[in-house]
Structure 1
Amino acid sequence: MKKLLAVSLILLLVCQLYASDNADLFKPKKIEKAMKKATFWQLKHPKHKLYDWTNGAFYAGVFAAYETTGSKKIWKALMEMGETNEWKPGPRLHHADDHAICQTYLDVYRVEKQEQMLIPFRDTIDKMMATPYSTGKIRPITWWWCDALFMAPPALVKLGEILDEPKYLKLNDKLFKETYDLLFDEEENLFARDMKYKTDWEEPRYEANGKKIFWSRGNGWVMGGIVRVLEELPADYPNRSFYEKLFVRMAQRIAEIQQEDGLWRASLLDPASYPGGEASGSGFFTYALAWGINNGLLDEATYKPVVQKAWVGLNSLIQADGRVGWTQPIGADPRANFSNASWEVYGTGAFLLAGSEVIKMNW
């Protein structure tokens, strides 16, 4: 016990010294300014259909930026997005990617209380529940890839809480647990991207150093999804402990493999093969860990230095115009190349979510 206390005190001291060297980055006005700059740059540079999963992640961050800054300009952008989409999910009935944007619709609904903002998603999920899902070799379950756990679960739980309909929470529990059982690695406390990255697959894949392949962005999205689910679930919800325990297990592992620059590499267990810090995975990890501290699930003395290094690292990726660089492009594994010029809307979304929690911490 005394040894643990001593370690915690040392970590806090290191944290304070690190904060003094980068003090400006942790000032609320500085964080808000960075969030606004990134938001407005990204809004001026659209890239995908507004209902696309990429924008599901981006607009989750945009709503967080609105909550943080109170910007009327950001609120206008949220309303314009929803109206353009007619508050509808994407066209694929069972596909979690096409449900991601609905997280933001439901957040906006809570402010505006306009039923057209939630009815299309409710009707889609009701139809989905009544329609069998066609499985296959790679997709034996509905949510067969790990980043699906960011896309759909928060939207389902938000819908259930808003409508006071337990069936949507139960559906999330069922589908989430299926993904956990299929893809969670009990030894590494990380998720394989999909079945092709499990060691029992017919042609198992490994990194150059012989380690298993665990994708940073995929695991970042899982952690982001978990905290967004926990944010919604009642404290006495019967299955809440499952999500809390999973979150803590992943947080411990993620903290262990943070790199010296505060960021995480595209492949979590083979950083030498991927030298650049990656914005989207790192952003979601920062968001999740900061949320865990702010909500009492993670020990502040242990995890605050991790978040601190991560926020400094993330700010090093922001370009002068507000673009979030060093974002890995769309793909299904760590191998796609990226640079300071590489950007994607979900990289900005991850940065905004991170900022929305970092700003709440006691610096």
Structure 2
Amino acid sequence: MKRLLIRNGVFALVIAALSSCSVQKTTTAKDVELPNKKEVLEVSRRANQYFMNKWPDTKKEIIGKKVWPSNLWTRAVYYEGLMALYTVDPKKEYYDYAMSWANNHNWALQRGTYTRNADHQACGQTYLDLYEIDGRKNPERIKDVKAAMDSMIVTDKVDDWWWIDALQMSMPIFTKLGRITGEQKYFDKNYEMYAYTKYKHGGNGLYNPIDKIWWRDKSFVPPYKEPNGEDCYWSRGNGWVVAALAKTLQDTPKSDPHYQEYLKDYKDLLAALLPTQREDGFWNVSLHDPTNFGGKEMTGTALFVYGMSYGINNGLIDRETYLPVVVKAWNAIAKDSVQPNGFLGWVQGTGKEPKDGQPLAVDKQPDFEDYGLGCLLLAGSEVYKLK
């Protein structure tokens, strides 16, 4: 299907997957059959069990092009998903698995307590979740992650999040600490750093206020173009932003002076995703150029499902508009990505743009297989809550 875009007075004819637009015209929320809760849990459990069976030792290093400790960001995203699954399926084995991981790493951040790198901080999200699950009785569990964020707060530096993935890795830590401690300083620093990424990095910020979508980092700010002449908007990168904003809205008080801006950015991004959904329910790796490694991709799709489902469940977005899109995407993931043995297909490997980790396939193992599962479990936990 063709659409006509107007950008700086220039008409550009672009081929785009606009299946969701037709969905909105022909399908209403009342017509949509919600995914069966037992089936959602079965899919989530199956994928998770495959991973837990493969990685029984929670401290085992990850060996690829180099050797990685198992508290790096990819594994941290998995445990975020596991904690989300635990909220709807509170199995002791999930708790024990997460506790083993945290204990095996002494509740420490990757590369030291005072790291400013969001990827190295990401494991702190699960540490905070486990601290709360046990009634906040063990402050030593969050000592390092709190010290890291406090060390950032006492400086004027706000330019650490130069790539949009960092928003998901670090923003929820600030807002969780703000909610747990009741201290406004965490919410304030969170916004200062978010605002620098949005308005300053790359010259004028990594957020395009025209398209309402985010460039992955300054490398992709115009004049960089996709093969079809469009801006490069990476699916999973924008999925990280969706997740970051959903989690930020979850923990930030509505009275916070920046809550409404987070909400607007979240709603605008979700709206911008609607016309880019594929006919089969997935999203492409490139949101505005379906010819650039076009095809099914699970991680970005799952993060969009998570963010949209969260919005529906919490009354932040219009159910009539988004429910058909969410259900179509989740059904595609459950059918085409999650294999009978729990292996996840159509997962793009680590990287920063559409070409990385290509070509994808239903049976191709990515360089890291943990963060894709984290994305799936985040999505499943919110789809399960749909009413």
**Same fold, judged at TM 0.5 (above):** yes
Question: Residue in 1 aligned with 2:121?
Answer: 99
Instruction: Mark the CA change 1:42 to 1:94 in structure 2 (over 3 Å): closer, same or farther.
Output: same
Q: Is the 8 A contact 1:55 1:345 kept in 2?
A: yes
Alpha-carbon shift at residue 205 of structure 1 (Å): 2.2
Looking at structure 1, the residues matched to 272 and 365 of structure 2 have their Cα atoms a distance apart, in angstroms, of 27
Deviations 1:20-64 (CA, angstroms, capped at 9, x unpaired): xxx7xx111111111111112122334452221111211110101
Looking at structure 1, the residues matched to 53 and 247 of structure 2 have their Cα atoms a distance apart, in angstroms, of 27
Give the stretch that moved more between structures: 179-188 or 268-277: 268-277
Task: Say which SS state the counterpart of residue 312 (structure 2) adopts.
Answer: helix
Looking at structure 2, the residues matched to 230 and 141 of structure 1 have their Cα atoms a distance apart, in angstroms, of 22
Correspondence 1:205 to 2:214:
no
Correspondence 1:342 to 2:360:
no
Out of 285, 291, 296, the position equivalent to 1:266 is 285
Specify the code of the residue in structure 2 equivalent to 1:159: L
Alpha-carbon shift at residue 8 of structure 1 (Å): 7.0
Correspondence 1:109 to 2:131:
yes
Task: Say which SS state the counterpart of residue 103 (structure 2) adopts.
Answer: helix
Task: Say which SS state the counterpart of residue 61 (structure 1) adopts.
Answer: helix
Deviations 1:295-333 (CA, angstroms, capped at 9, x unpaired): 111111111000011101111211121122111111111
Task: Say which SS state the counterpart of residue 125 (structure 2) adopts.
Answer: helix
Alpha-carbon shift at residue 72 of structure 1 (Å): 1.0
Q: Which structure shows the bigger proportion of residues in strand conformation?
A: 2
Report how many aligned residue pairs link the two structures: 339
Out of 198, 206, 226, the position equivalent to 1:183 is 206
Specify the code of the residue in structure 2 equivalent to 1:265: N
Question: Residue in 2 aligned with 1:196?
Answer: 219
Specify the code of the residue in structure 2 equivalent to 1:220: G
Correspondence 1:142 to 2:160:
yes
Deviations 1:271-293 (CA, angstroms, capped at 9, x unpaired): 12223211111110000011111
Q: Is the 8 A contact 2:168 2:243 kept in 1?
A: yes
Gaps of 5+ in 2: 1-22, 56-61, 63-67, 200-204
Looking at structure 2, the residues matched to 73 and 145 of structure 1 have their Cα atoms a distance apart, in angstroms, of 35
Deviations 1:233-275 (CA, angstroms, capped at 9, x unpaired): 1222221101100000001001121111111111111112223
Specify the code of the residue in structure 1 equivalent to 2:45: K
- Identity, in percent, stands at 32
Looking at structure 1, the residues matched to 338 and 313 of structure 2 have their Cα atoms a distance apart, in angstroms, of 24
Question: Residue in 1 aligned with 2:108?
Answer: 88
1:288-327 to 2 correspondences below 5 Å: 288-315=307-334, 316-327=336-347
Q: Is the 8 A contact 1:11 1:302 kept in 2?
A: no
Question: Residue in 2 aligned with 1:123?
Answer: 147
Q: Is the 8 A contact 2:292 2:354 kept in 1?
A: no
Question: Residue in 2 aligned with 1:42?
Answer: 51
Question: Residue in 2 aligned with 1:275?
Answer: 294
Specify the code of the residue in structure 2 equivalent to 1:226: L
Q: Which structure shows the bigger proportion of residues in helix conformation?
A: 1
Correspondence 1:358 to 2:383:
yes
Looking at structure 2, the residues matched to 63 and 221 of structure 1 have their Cα atoms a distance apart, in angstroms, of 17
Give the stretch that moved more between structures: 231-240 or 284-293: 231-240
Specify the code of the residue in structure 2 equivalent to 1:192: W
Specify the code of the residue in structure 1 equivalent to 2:262: Y
Specify the code of the residue in structure 2 equivalent to 1:78: A
Root-mean-square deviation over aligned CA pairs: 1.8
Gaps of 5+ in 1: 1-6, 134-139
